[in-house]
Amino acid sequence: MTSNFLLTPFQTPYNTAPFSKIENAHFLPAFKQGIEETKAEIDVIVNNTEAPSFKNTIEALEFTGEQLGRVSSIFFNLNSAETNDTIQKIAQEVSPLLSDFSNDITLNEALFKRIKTVYDSKDSLDLTIEQQTLLDKKYKGFSRNGANLPEGKKEKLREIDKELSKLSLKFGENILAETNKFDMLITDESDLAGLPEGTIEAAKQLAESKEKEGWLFTLDYPSYIPFVTYADNRELRKKITLAAGSKGFNNDVLDNQDIVLKIAKLRLDRANLLGYKTHAHFVLEERMAKTPETVTRFSKELLTKAKPAAEKEFQNLQDFAKGLDGIDQLQKWDGSYYSEKLKQKLFNLDDELLKPYFKLENVIQGSFTVANKLFDLNFEEINNIDKYHEDVLTYKVTDTKGDLVSIFYADFFPRTGKRNGAWMTSFKSQSIKNGTNDRPHISIVCNFTKPTKSKPSLLTFNEVTTLFHEFGHALHGMLANTTYPSLSGTSVFWDFVELPSQVMENWCYEKEALSLFAKHYETGEVIPMDLVEKIKESATFHQGMQTLRQISFGLLDMSWHANESPETIESVKSHETEAFKNTTLYPEVAENCMSTSFSHIFQGGYSSGYYSYKWAEVLDADAFEYFKEAGIFNKDVADKFKNNVLSQGGTVDPMTLYKRFRGKEPQPEALLRRAGLI
């Protein structure tokens, strides 16, 4: 093996990850050494003969494990964006090691004793707000993870955590394998009727790359979404929809039903062990919502407002489909298709009309221009740092003085080793140590339509808002300005984390912002204002159905995690059907199950937290009303948002931060107004 670059400080520009020098074989030794180094750092804290203080215990603990943290972020980011069989095998080996190590820390009695001593004397300490928050977080991090448990129960907790980490990894691997396994080869050109030219060309190119004759469609979003939206062939729409909806639900080696039941049961066991009624009670204690009852009440209030509108919209859509094609009963594989046709009829607007104005490079530049006008950030593409894949773009972000704010990675196209969807992540957190403000390395990962031989990457409007959404998360990470890494950037309550991302989507609907970047890729013509008006008009199209859909996902999440007896659930499908009963519009599809591929809650960090998308929408609608009142590029409002929300991370209670920015608590009516529901 060559020398292991993960075991030494990175001698790289801006201390960036040396991807080209890292081999898969380097990871396991680096994890093992990182764990040992961090244990040694913790031993120093525990064996300190001085009385426990904030500095020698809480702050010292905060800055342990720096090298291990970097190795972890590089490895798990690659496992999401550029994985392979070897990396997945290492993940299965490493996850229990990390789970054990995490428990070694939180169940370390001598360490907890020191933390508790500092915590119990906190009223007599002269701590800043950020220090108080860190102390509270460290104490709860231990108490909420078993530090107060007797020895036998601590051992039980270790077993549960190890098993959970393995199960969620396996869940994700199965979904990726299911996604990669399916492809639909079309050899009869007439079956392509209705599909946009760019989609057909991309499918042809994909088939050629696999040495096949015809047009190849997959479950990757840039292939799947256009197919179900535009393909006239109803049987083929059904085929690909059923494949997408049955991931992890085929009673084969990739089936996730048992995994879902085990995860739900183990999460309850874990919560009970720690003295909580359910997993949701445990999770929500550290959220703005605080309790499952609040989440349920919030969801039901929104449901009351949205359901009548959704049912009316659905009936209109059904009548439209019947009038157009004699469809008596709309099915799930008809929804996107007829919605698009109806939208075209009502607004004379479709994505194919808009796409020429949304060349990927222009949209990226547009997001940068918006960030510059609002937050004084400058983005410069650089090529002197390593990338983990040739598609990745790399940027240096600076402020008005030219000082480094962040390194920014952007990864936009689907490929075999990359999971579906879009997300923001980081390779290195921001913190201030020994007087040095160490700047973050932030990344966004998406799955957009690739360029073809004849066209650049042209985005649908939905992809434009996705890019701005993830870029909003990225700004939260980039503009972080806190002392402690665990309170930095997006390290905030989960139902607050979507505010910066969702608020950024609003600029995509504004003439003043669109005119900066929405330019025809061939002529350079700025998007015509009548199209901008149509985008705004159509923004509330099917908002009732969209809201109902999001609420249904949140209710499904709570049905698994606010459940006091998941062990009595015999059928994942039956349980899900019951959870969806008040939000269902389309006829039930026996072959489909959402839970078995609901990665947000069974693989990602959204268990008991899916409601937070809607919760944050209330915040973002209210926040953007403030921008609109003053002007969408008003510097005073932008500075308030930057200084009170984006830079503060998790240092202060989120409602306090929001009120400092807005001057008052958020009003739900702002969301209902924007959605056209009142």
Helix (H) or strand (E) holding 411, with range, is strand 404-411
* 3-class secondary structure, 436: strand
* 3-class secondary structure, 65: coil
Domain ranges of the chain: 5-106+108-148, 182-245, 356-537
Structure tokens at 658: 């929001």
Q: Which residues pair with 409 in a beta bridge?
A: 394, 443
Please give the Cα distance from 671 to 243 (Å, whole number): 34
The pairing of beta strand 441-445 with beta strand 404-411: parallel
Give every CB contact of residue 368 below 8 A, 6+ residues apart in sequence: 377, 379
Residue 2 above 80 pLDDT? no
Q: Determine the topology of domain 5-106+108-148 in CATH.
A: Glutathione S-transferase Yfyf (Class Pi); Chain A, domain 2 (1.20.1050)
Q: Indicate the length of the chain as a whole number.
A: 678
What letter does residue 426 receive in the DSSP assignment?
E
Active-site residue identified among 340, 470, 510, 576: 470
Residue 455 above 90 pLDDT? yes
- Model pTM? 0.89
Please give the Cα distance from 531 to 565 (Å, whole number): 52
Q: Provide, for the chain, the percentages of residues in helix, strand and coil under a 3-state DSSP scheme, each rounded to the nearest 5.
A: 60, 5, 35
Please give the Cα distance from 452 to 7 (Å, whole number): 41
* Mean pLDDT across 555-564: 97
585-611 pLDDT, tens digit per residue, is 999 999 999 999 999 999 988 999 999
CB-based burial label for 252 (10 Å; 0-12, 13-18, 19+): exposed
Please give the Cα distance from 557 to 389 (Å, whole number): 34
pLDDT band at 249 (very low <50, low <70, confident <90, very high): very high
Task: Give how far Cα 358 sits from Cα of 8, 243, 515, 577, Å.
Answer: 43, 30, 11, 39
Q: Which residue has the tokens 């990359």?
A: 418
Please give the Cα distance from 482 to 670 (Å, whole number): 31
400-443 pLDDT, tens digit per residue, is 999 999 999 999 999 999 998 999 999 999 999 999 999 999 99
82-118 pLDDT, tens digit per residue, is 999 999 999 999 999 999 999 899 889 999 999 999 9
CB 292 within 8 A of CB 527: no
Output the pLDDT for position 668: 85
| 470 flagged as catalytic | yes
pLDDT band at 137 (very low <50, low <70, confident <90, very high): very high
CB 161 within 8 A of CB 585: no
CB 223 within 8 A of CB 201: no
Instruction: Give the DSSP letter string of 334-377.
Output: HHHHHHHHHHHHHHS--HHHHGGG-BHHHHHHHHHHHHHHHH--
pLDDT band at 667 (very low <50, low <70, confident <90, very high): confident
CB 606 within 8 A of CB 596: no
Q: Give the residue, 352 or 321, on which the prediction is more confident.
A: 321
Backbone dihedral region of 89: left (phi > 0), alpha (psi from -120 to 50 degrees) or beta? alpha
Output the pLDDT for position 166: 94
N- to C-terminal Cα separation, the chain? 65
Side chain identity, residue 470? E
CB 425 within 8 A of CB 443: yes
* Mean pLDDT across 559-576: 97
Half-sphere exposure (CA, 13 Å, Cβ side) for 653? 10
Output the pLDDT for position 598: 97
Half-sphere exposure (CA, 13 Å, Cβ side) for 110? 10
Please give the Cα distance from 346 to 562 (Å, whole number): 41
Please give the Cα distance from 33 to 328 (Å, whole number): 64
Task: Give how far Cα 370 sits from Cα of 516, 527, 649, Å.
Answer: 8, 17, 21
Please give the Cα distance from 286 to 653 (Å, whole number): 10
Structure tokens at 299: 């969801």
298-323 pLDDT, tens digit per residue, is 999 999 999 999 999 999 999 999 99
Which long-range contacts (C-beta less than 8 Å, at least 24 apart) are formed by 538-541?
Answer: 538/343, 538/346, 538/347, 538/349, 539/509, 539/674, 540/674, 540/675, 540/676, 541/339, 541/343, 541/346, 541/347
Give every CB contact of residue 630 below 8 A, 6+ residues apart in sequence: 636, 637
Residue 1 above 60 pLDDT? no
The pairing of beta strand 423-428 with beta strand 431-433: unpaired
Structure tokens at 39: 């244990």
Output the pLDDT for position 352: 86
pLDDT band at 672 (very low <50, low <70, confident <90, very high): confident
Which long-range contacts (C-beta less than 8 Å, at least 24 apart) are formed by 459-464?
Answer: 459/355, 459/358, 459/359, 459/360, 459/363, 460/225, 460/226, 460/351, 460/354, 460/355, 460/358, 461/351, 461/354, 461/358, 461/508, 461/535, 462/225, 462/351, 463/358, 464/358, 464/363, 464/508
* 3-class secondary structure, 597: helix
457-515 pLDDT, tens digit per residue, is 999 999 999 999 999 999 999 999 999 999 999 999 988 999 999 999 999 999 999 99
Q: Which residue has the tokens 């080793």?
A: 417
State residue 441 phi and psi, 5-degree precision.
-115, 110
Residue 296 above 90 pLDDT? yes
CATH class of 356-537: mainly alpha
Pick from 9-13, 349-353, 371-375, 660-664: least confident: 349-353
Please give the Cα distance from 443 to 440 (Å, whole number): 10
Torsion of CA 258, 260, 261, 265, to 10 degrees: 140
CB 555 within 8 A of CB 606: no
Residue 272 above 70 pLDDT? yes
